[in-house]
Structure 1
């Protein structure tokens, strides 16, 4: 049985053409991409050891081996971060913080206070399953009328894959769907992640399952929203990870003057309260 770490390394190896790394073309082969022996040689490890990692028979590669594989695969900074995270959940030595067995819905008092300090900015707190746990008033204003916050326990992942209004709200729905599926994969060590995935997959179908089987780190560029009020918003995102809780605090910043002006108009529309803590 494989592991998230082994699956990612194998998928990246299969996606690399040898010529891009200056390696000779060895002719036709059964599988696409970089040969296992070529990757092992570039990383300075044995083919047998690489095979054990890819097949999930070795779940504890050292920090040096993980870094060597990242160099050998020419991973981008975001892909290197992902590789380190996969090493954590697989049980390797790179673990800096123990991951919670559950994707927590509890919001620490300090996080609530941080959100209050971010007012009147746009910010939301979610866990890896996509549960929206808390948000500022301005965040509510930019999604108002979209249906995202209508549920008693709003969930961004469920909304993206099962609510038709999501395809209208998110101008780049495909990219947003990739991001949500990717974040869901990061919760695979949580006890409730598989239950949630099974429940969601029955409604989302191939839109979700196809993405869960990919191992591509999404770029997370500018988020484009088509607000129901007729505004087109372009938002930069800054993310603060809370690893102990498997939560993330996302702050949205206008990417241009037109968006800043539109957000200011939306922010002054009537709302209830200044901060909503859902859980």
Structure 2
């Protein structure tokens, strides 16, 4: 669950692939409030032969960074407790005070619009990794940012946003993206479990009329439905968050109930893959 202590060794689900020898000495910190994304990126890093830890919010990430060495940070932007923007801004402040060299911090985001780019640059992030994240996409990122020091690029490297997909991919395309069907099954099981927990909390938030909790759970569900690529559901969640924050829960009750049913249908389709 989000907020647990950093994990060093996710389940072994893939065979290793060829990677540069110097990656074996590198350490990566993965920060995301979704356990599914932590499991995914951690598993892919293990396949690539890269040591890593994971944690569930920016505050935990700062604690890890202060006590252990990392060569790269991959962080979600929007998280409870402390988001990726605030975490990066605070860590850059500490680097300036201590005079330590900057650790590359890469945003992990479901969308890459002008606002997201401006916020990432403004807080001191170095680049972007656009969900959904596959093995070869992550390998390209590591090739750039885990290169020996003299080879590091002096400019921000932006991972291009992908075209939005409206249909779920096939078993074959998911296997090609994530490396094996065993990985996909593990990810889908974790995704469904987290999404159903968030749906249950969303029901409680609707009953109590808690706009803050409703917005938080909508954001987490948006991350869940974007796991395999952006969908109309993700856009629907973003609109609902704005509406709930502007006018409250009661006014949007019917729209929230409709969104709940749509997510249930989405999860059923994933189960049938």
TM superposition score category, shorter chain reference: under 0.3
What TM-score does the superposition give when structure 2 sets the normalisation length? 0.25
Larger Rg: 1
The higher relative CO (CA closer than 8 Å, separation ≥ 6) is in 1
